[in-house]
């Protein structure tokens, strides 16, 4: 495993991060709470991730209805300080955590309530990384940034970041932080994969200019880039596409031929398709550490193989070109 600084911070994270969105559910979908990775399965996944050298664990207060944070906290307690002092934790705030009108968003009230609940579930006295899970159009950005700045001054948070952010809003946040002398966002966490290359157009240039870190989620596009979904065949029972129909928007009928080309290319190169797709994401100089969200320990087998693959600029363009003519977000 290799370790790199996250943006301008002095924090070193593994170049592949563990996404814990499957612990106790599948993301923030209430209907799936308690129906995916159990406590024991989550522990096994974290055990393997740690053995592989992954030191960055990412979750959210809404994942599994809070179960994801709780599982991580219990695992850290079981492991003791020799592990817990070395794991870099990030969690998020914004998504609904209840049915009340104030159980969501980025208001000062919600942030101040949720940080303490997250710290309690995780069993820590501060967070290394705290992320807004998305923009809140109903709360002034100034209010959110002032609240996050207060958390840093209180010692509850070390660094702040933003997920699912458009370039214009992230730029506005930087201007507000500069104007009011607030701690700024230091990295961004948006979707990026061969099926979603939109980050390259505006976000990556901003990250490069501002020395932002970038920890992309869904580098395998919800499993599409593993080869498990085939044209004309039903989605495997219990798979992400089976349980989360919203992810199906990533592809069109034209995507399947591109996936076939990627599969053939990977075979000719002597590597598996998923490892190649992950290595492609990692090969962009702006990318700090992609998040992979395994549902079983064996899904982490691609980590070492992806780390061994080297992709130069020319090959990056060749592989990206496989998906330029489909209707995905490339």
What is the rounded distance in angstroms from the CA atom of residue 318 to the CA atom of residue 225?
Answer: 16
Residue 6 C-alpha from the chain's centroid: 14
Q: How many helices (H) and strands (E) does the chain have?
A: 12, 10
Is the distance from CB of 148 to CB of 156 less than 8 angstroms?
A: no
Residue 160 near residue 93 (C-beta atoms within 8 A) = no
Q: Which of 195, 193, 196, 162 has its CA nearest to residue 176?
A: 162
The residues annotated as belonging to the active site are 63
Instruction: Output the CA torsion 232→234→236→238 (10° steps).
Output: 150
> Based on the number of CB atoms within 10 Å of its own CB, is 232 exposed (0-12), middle (13-18) or buried (19 or more)?
exposed
């Amino acid at each position: 495993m290799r370790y790199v600084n996250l943006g301008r911070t002095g924090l070193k994270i593994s170049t592949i991060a563990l996404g814990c969105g499957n612990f106790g559910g599948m993301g923030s979908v209430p209907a799936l709470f308690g129906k995916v990775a159990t406590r024991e399965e989550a522990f096994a996944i974290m055990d393997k991730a740690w053995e592989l050298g992954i030191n960055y664990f990412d979750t959210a207060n809404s994942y599994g209805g809070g179960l994801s944070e709780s599982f991580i906290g219990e695992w850290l307690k079981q492991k003791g300080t020799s592990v817990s002092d070395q794991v870099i934790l990030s969690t998020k705030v914004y998504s609904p955590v209840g049915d009340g009108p104030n159980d969501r968003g980025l208001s000062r009230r919600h942030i101040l309530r949720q940080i303490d609940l997250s710290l309690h579930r995780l069993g820590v006295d501060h967070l290394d990384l705290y992320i807004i899970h998305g923009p809140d159009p109903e709360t002034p950005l100034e209010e959110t940034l002032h609240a996050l700045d207060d958390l840093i001054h209180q010692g509850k948070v070390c660094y702040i970041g933003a997920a699912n952010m458009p370039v214009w809003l992230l730029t506005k946040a930087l201007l507000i932080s500069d104007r009011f002398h607030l701690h700024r966002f230091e990295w961004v966490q948006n979707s990026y994969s061969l099926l979603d290359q939109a980050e390259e157009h505006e976000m990556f240039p901003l990250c490069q200019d501002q020395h932002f870190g970038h920890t992309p989620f869904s580098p395998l596009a919800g499993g599409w880039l593993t080869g498990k979904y085939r044209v004309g065949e039903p989605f495997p029972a219990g798979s992400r596409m089976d349980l989360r129909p919203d992810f199906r928007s990533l592809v069109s009928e034209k995507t399947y031929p591109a996936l076939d080309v990627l599969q053939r290319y990977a075979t000719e190169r002597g590597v598996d398709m998923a490892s190649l797709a992950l290595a492609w994401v990692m090969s962009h100089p702006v990318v700090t550490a992609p998040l992979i969200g395994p549902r079983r320990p064996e899904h982490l087998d691609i980590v070492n193989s992806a780390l061994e693959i080297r992709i130069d600029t020319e090959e990056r363009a060749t592989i990206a070109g496989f998906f330029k003519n489909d209707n995905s977000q490339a």
